[in-house]
Amino acid sequence: MKSYISAAVIFAALLVTVPAAPLAVSELRHTSAAEPTAAVYKSENSEKETKKQTEAQEPSENSKKENEKLPYVANWAKTLELIYFDREDRASDDQESFKVLDITTGKVEEISVFDYVVGAVCAEMPATFEPEALKAQAVAAHTYAQRQKEKALTSPDKELNGAYFSNDSSKYQAYFTENQAKQYYGDNYEQYIEKIKNAVSDVESEILVYEDEPIIAAFHSMSSGTTESAENVWGSKVEYLIPVESDYDTEAPKYMEEYEYTADEVKERLENAFDDIKLGDKPEEWFSDVSKSKSNTVLEIKAGNLTVTGQEIRAALSLRSASFDIEYDDGFKITTRGYGHCVGMSQYGANAMAKEGKTYKEILEHYYPNTELKTAD
């Protein structure tokens, strides 16, 4: 039986993803820090608040409404319903399942691995993406759930009442039920759900492991052009969550965004975020001493009298990423690159690789180096 080490470490950077909810803490084997359960596994569909995002998915000929949005975790995706995405040729008695706590009823439901992964891919990646990218996302989703299952079996959480995780999308990976997927995809439901089911079917038994344990399968929408290390974002080294090139991301929609704030707006946001901050009379002097990683993530920056992290500034100013530049000229202009924490697999990068003919295995090998695929127990 695997043993897990728990430690209570809260990463401020991840609170940007689910700021309204407490950060679920679990273990991080091979490191000394805790694993933030929700945010690392979410695409930026759950960025900042659990409401529909209206960002473009990809610069393609697709003009359908859902193709002009990033995936999201909807507020209505809270009530657990039994999912019936399953294939007709599957014998239900032979299905592996995950135990999921419905936070609205307190009941623990068993959902087949296939149905859970289909629902997770629906919630976390645009259905318009390439099949090989969807397969890579499916493996990541399954890996996440398997890791949570093994943790729950070795170190149960009393609040889960025997479940492995819950349908609280602020704490755990998001997934859609069949009805939720129908609402989200609308008239395209049959086409999209069949595409996702086919992708999941091809990889449903596979997970990613490191030293024979399910990995922390972190992913994000798009990087700054190079993914970031877990160590730089969350403070703990993870051997397979290291920077890799992802040049494709620079061609993604809304890769670069500009924000304009007045000095009063920035002052209000900073004072709300940092109790002890002191800002002088000259706004052009409020930010200084910027330290960046090789991936262009702001690691530290001086804001007034305080030295804070780039992730904290990202949260305070509601930025898409911690890869940013700040200019002042009678007002602040902030330019960001990428979207999300930038650790692990870039979803847009994965899709671009798939378009170039790369397989899901090659995608996973690229974004999660030093890991291997294996059949889940």
Instruction: Check residue 103 and give its pLDDT.
Output: 86
Whether the Cβ atoms of residue 278 and residue 351 lie closer than 8 Å to each other: no
State the pTM of this model.
0.79
Instruction: Check residue 155 and give its pLDDT.
Output: 93
Instruction: Check residue 54 and give its pLDDT.
Output: 28
Those residues whose C-beta lies under 8 Å from the C-beta of residue 129, and which sit 6 or more positions away, are 57, 58, 137, 347, 350, 351, 354
The partner residues of 343 in beta bridges, in order of sequence, read 228
For 289-344, the DSSP string reads EEEE-TT--EEEEEETTEEEEHHHHHHHHT-SBS-EEEEESSSEEEEEESBB--BS
- What gap in Å lies between CA 227 and CA 245, rounded to an integer? 6
Whether the Cβ atoms of residue 143 and residue 215 lie closer than 8 Å to each other: yes
Q: Which of 336, 274, 285, 284 has its CA nearest to residue 308?
A: 274
- Domain map of the chain by residue range? 12-252+342-375, 256-337
- What gap in Å lies between CA 105 and CA 108, rounded to an integer? 9
Chunked in runs of 10, what are the mean pLDDT values of the chain (377 residues)? 33 30 26 44 44 32 34 35 47 70 90 95 96 98 95 93 91 88 95 98 96 96 97 94 97 95 97 96 97 97 98 96 97 97 97 98 98 91
Instruction: Check residue 185 and give its pLDDT.
Output: 95
Provide the residue type at 277 as one letter.
Answer: I
